[in-house]
Amino acid sequence: MKRLAAFLLTIYMPANAADLAPYIVVNANAIPEPLIAGPADPELGAALMLGAGCSACHQKDLNRIGDRMTDGEMRLMIVAPEVRVPDTAMPAYYKVGVYGEVADDQVGKTRLSAAEVEAVIAYLKTL
Ligand code: HEC
C-alpha cells in the first residue's frame, strides 16, 4: 500500500489583524513561501535587525546562516520560533501582541511587518 505523503501543513490565520499575511508551516520546520511577493531589501533588513535587538542574543552565530538554513527555515525561526524550538528564548517577530504578554503599546501589533520579515531574511543571507 502506498504511504501517505509525509507533509504536515498547518495554516495560520493571525487573529485580529486582517492585514497580516497568512502563512503555511511545513513539517513544523519551515515556511517555504515568502510572506509577501516581490523583492526584499537587505539594507533595510540590516537596519531592522539593529532596531529589533537581534544582536542582544546573536553575535557571530548568524554568520553564514544562509549556508545552514533554508529561507523557509529562517522565516519560521523569525515568525514563530517556538514551532521549531519549543521553549526558545527567541521572541516571535510576526505574532500579534496580546495584552499582558507585551508592552501596552505593542498590543495588536507584530514586532515586524511581513515585508520587514522578508527584508531581515534577505540580510541574513548576506552574512
Ligand atoms: C532573546 C534572545 C533572542 C533574540 C532577541 C533573537 N534571537 Fe534568534 N535565537 C535565539 C536563540 C536562543 C536561538 C537558538 C534556538 C534556541 O535554542 O532557542 C535563536 C535562533 C535563531 C536563528 C536560527 C539559528 C540557528 O543556528 O539555528 C535565527 C536565523 C535567528 N535566531 C534570527 C534572529 C533574528 C533575525 C532576530 C532579530 C529579529 C533574533 N534572532 C532575535 C535568541 C534570540
53 lines ligand 1 (CB under 6 A): yes
Q: By CB neighbour count within 10 A (0-12 exposed, 13-18 middle, 19+ buried), where does 53 fall? A: exposed
Fold of 9-35+56-124: Cytochrome Bc1 Complex; Chain D, domain 2 (1.10.760)
Q: What is the pTM (predicted TM-score) of this model?
A: 0.88
What is the best residue among 57, 83, 125 to mutate for testing ligand 1's pocket, by most ligand atoms within 8 Å of CB?
57
Counts for the chain of helices (H) and strands (E), in that order? 5, 2
Per-residue pLDDT for the chain (127 aa), expressed as one digit of tens each?
455 555 666 666 554 555 688 899 999 999 999 999 989 999 999 999 999 999 999 998 999 999 999 999 999 999 999 999 999 999 999 998 888 888 888 888 899 999 999 999 999 999 9
Give residue limits of the domains in the chain.
9-35+56-124
d(CA 116, CA 13): 18
Best mutation site among 55, 76, 77, 82 for ligand 1 pocket (most ligand atoms within 8 Å of CB): 77
- C-alpha cell of 126? 548576506
